[in-house]
Every structure is written in C-alpha cells, then in structure tokens.
C-alpha cells in the first residue's frame, strides 16, 4: 500500500518532467526555425548583392551569369562591322578576335554587315557562314561605301530587331565599325557604363587635334549611338535626303541638322590609329586602349594582339606546346 502511494508522486513527476521537456523542445525548434529563416533571408540578400563580375560563367557553377540578361544593369551593345561579302578570311579572323572576349555584365553582339549578294559562290558560302555563326546582316542595297550603306544599316535595324517578346530597346547602343579596327570590349563597356542611354553620340572626334565632340563628327573607325537615335534615323527625312559623301562626315551632319545627340562622348585618346606611320591621329599603343584603327595587314594585327597579351589566358594542355 505504501509502495503504491509512493509510485503515484513518481509517476506524476515523470509526466510533468516529460511534458516540460517536450515543451522545451517545441520552443527550441521554434527559435531555430526563426533563426534558419533569418539565415536564409540573409544568405539570399548577400548573394543578390554580389557583383556580377564575381560570378563564374562556367557551366559547372550554379552561379552562372547569362550574358543575354535583360536586367537594367546589363548593357546591350550591337557592333555592326561594315565589310564586303567576299571578305571571308577577314570575317573568320575577326570572329577569333571577338569570340575570345567576354565582357562582364554586358551583352555585346558583333555582326558583319554588307549589301545584297551578287555571285553564286557568295550565296553558298555566306549561307554556310550564317548557318554556322548566325552573325551576318545582309542589307537590301547595292554594295557601296559612301552612297548610303551606313544609312541603310541604321535605318533597317528597328524593323529587324524590334519584337513583341524581346527586350525594349533591343540594344541600348548600336555601333558602326570598320573591319580594320580592333575593339577591346571590356574597356568599351566600362566607358559606356556611366553614360546616358539616350541621345548619345560616342567616338573619336575628327579632326584629329580636336577634343570637342560638338564641333565636327566622329571618325568612321567606330562610332556609337543610342537606340533612340537609330529610330530617329529610320523616321527622319534628314538622313534620307543626304546620303552621298564620306559616311562618317555625313553622319555627323545628320546629327547636327536634326539637333540630336545632346549627350556626346569623345573617346580620344583611348581610340586612335595604329602608330605606324605616325600622324596627328596616332600614338603608341597603351593599356587604356578601347580601339586601334588602321590595322591594314597581319603584321600590325599581330603586334597589337601581342601588346595586349590576348593569349595569356590560354589553358595549358598536353595537346599542344606554344612557347
């Protein structure tokens, strides 16, 4: 009888202790859940603030940057290199030059631009290039240099590129470039990042001694405009009625007559002509270069590429040995 009386208080203490322990576990779990949620939120916040240049674009990394992202911070640039249909080797060479550059936080598309094909071999070979690389724009015009090709290029782009399901605008900036110019895309993008995305005219001011972008015009080596000016070229009668003459100079006259480009950027002396032969438009190669122009032969190209150490990132391999 005494043992039964003693057992009841023990059982009561056991039940109370068990209940208290369960309650303690519930409270602890609740606290940990709050902490875990907070930790997750903190982690998401921290990751969202990591600059895109710290992301690895490797397909094996979960933090992959998509260079075609439409975020406001990603600059979209179209570089149209005006060339000729028969310049197959030049196009293949330039694909190497630009295909090995990967500017961070930007989409830079390089396209080769020429007028209608006129030969049977062009129709086959250019079609193969398009199938393989998809980097060619064929304009509806007769091949020319200073009789409206540049106008046809810019004025054709809105119809070609504006799509209901695509980004608006398709590109923030559009450039016309020569096929004997070398652009360093990282430096180009870095120079564009702080600039306005509307009513912009960017390039190397002509005449060579001038530093005032509001006086004359930008050199044909490569000048860039914002998308709103591209649309203005399509719609305005000023360019349509003034097509013939040195294309870069004529372009500057359109801008002046139309009272466009209140925002202008003179990229001199980060853009310049190759130093040999020396002129008032040249200087020695230097690290802050955006573009080098007049690379008229392979020797000049090789000298330029070696100066900028473009092959330094070549991965070591047993498959080759390059001293």
Q: Is the pLDDT of residue 96 over 90?
A: yes
Binned at pLDDT 50, 70 and 90, residue 323 comes out as confident
Q: Which of 42-46, 60-64, 91-95, 164-168 has the lowest mean pLDDT?
A: 60-64
Q: Is the pLDDT of residue 73 over 90?
A: no
DSSP E strand stretches across the chain: 75-82, 106-114, 136-138, 173-178, 182-183, 200-203, 205-206, 217-218, 222-226, 263-266, 271-273, 291-293
Angle, helices 88-99/120-133, rounded to nearest 10 degrees: 10
What is the tens place of the pLDDT at every residue in 193-225?
999 999 999 999 999 999 999 999 999 999 999
pLDDT at site 36: 38
Distance CA 185, CA 165 (A): 27
Pick 187 or 42 by higher pLDDT: 187
What is the tens place of the pLDDT at every residue in 123-174?
999 999 999 999 999 999 999 999 999 999 999 999 999 999 999 999 999 9
pLDDT at site 15: 57
As a whole number of Å, the end-to-end CA separation of the chain is 99
CB–CB of 186/214 below 8 Å? Answer: no
Helix (H/G/I), strand (E/B), else coil: 282: strand
Q: Is the pLDDT of residue 72 over 80?
A: no
Kindly list the distances between the CA atom of residue 260 and the CA atoms of 24, 167, 236, 253, 298, in Å, as whole numbers in the listed order.
Answer: 72, 24, 11, 10, 38
Eight-state DSSP code of residue 103: -
| Percent of the chain at pLDDT exceeding 90 | 76
> Does the model's pTM come out above 0.85?
no
Tell the burial category of 182 from Cβ atoms under 10 Å away from its Cβ (0-12, 13-18, 19+): buried
pLDDT at site 276: 96
């Amino acid at each position: 009888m005494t043992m039964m009386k003693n057992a009841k208080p023990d059982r009561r203490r056991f039940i109370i202790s068990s209940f208290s322990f369960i309650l303690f576990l519930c409270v602890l779990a609740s606290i940990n859940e709050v902490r875990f949620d907070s930790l997750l939120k903190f982690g998401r916040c921290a990751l969202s603030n990591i600059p895109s240049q710290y992301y690895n674009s490797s397909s094996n990394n979960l933090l992959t940057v998509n260079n075609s992202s439409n975020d406001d911070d990603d600059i979209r640039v179209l570089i149209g290199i005006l060339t000729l249909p028969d310049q197959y080797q030049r196009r293949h060479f330039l694909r190497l030059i630009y295909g090995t550059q990967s500017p961070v936080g930007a989409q830079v598309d390089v396209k080769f631009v020429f007028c209608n094909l006129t030969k049977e071999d062009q129709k086959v070979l250019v079609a193969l290039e398009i199938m393989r690389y998809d980097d060619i724009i064929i304009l509806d015009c007769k091949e020319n240099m200073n009789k409206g090709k540049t106008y046809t290029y810019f004025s054709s782009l809105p119809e070609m590129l504006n799509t209901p399901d695509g980004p608006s605008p398709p590109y923030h900036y559009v450039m016309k470039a020569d096929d004997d110019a070398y652009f360093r895309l990282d430096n180009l993008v870095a120079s564009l990042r702080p600039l306005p995305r509307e009513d912009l005219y960017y390039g190397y001011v002509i005449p060579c001694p001038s530093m005032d972008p509001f006086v004359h015009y930008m050199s044909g080596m490569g000048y860039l405009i914002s998308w709103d000016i591209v649309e203005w070229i399509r719609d305005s009668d000023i360019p349509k009625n003034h097509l013939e003459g040195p294309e870069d100079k004529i372009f500057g006259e359109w801008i002046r007559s139309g009272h466009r480009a209140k925002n202008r950027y003179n990229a001199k002396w980060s853009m310049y002509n190759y130093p040999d032969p020396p002129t008032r438009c040249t200087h020695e190669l230097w690290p802050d270069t955006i573009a080098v122009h007049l690379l008229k032969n392979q020797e000049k190209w090789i000298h330029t590429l070696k100066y900028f150490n473009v092959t330094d990132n070549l991965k070591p391999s047993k498959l080759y040995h390059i001293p």
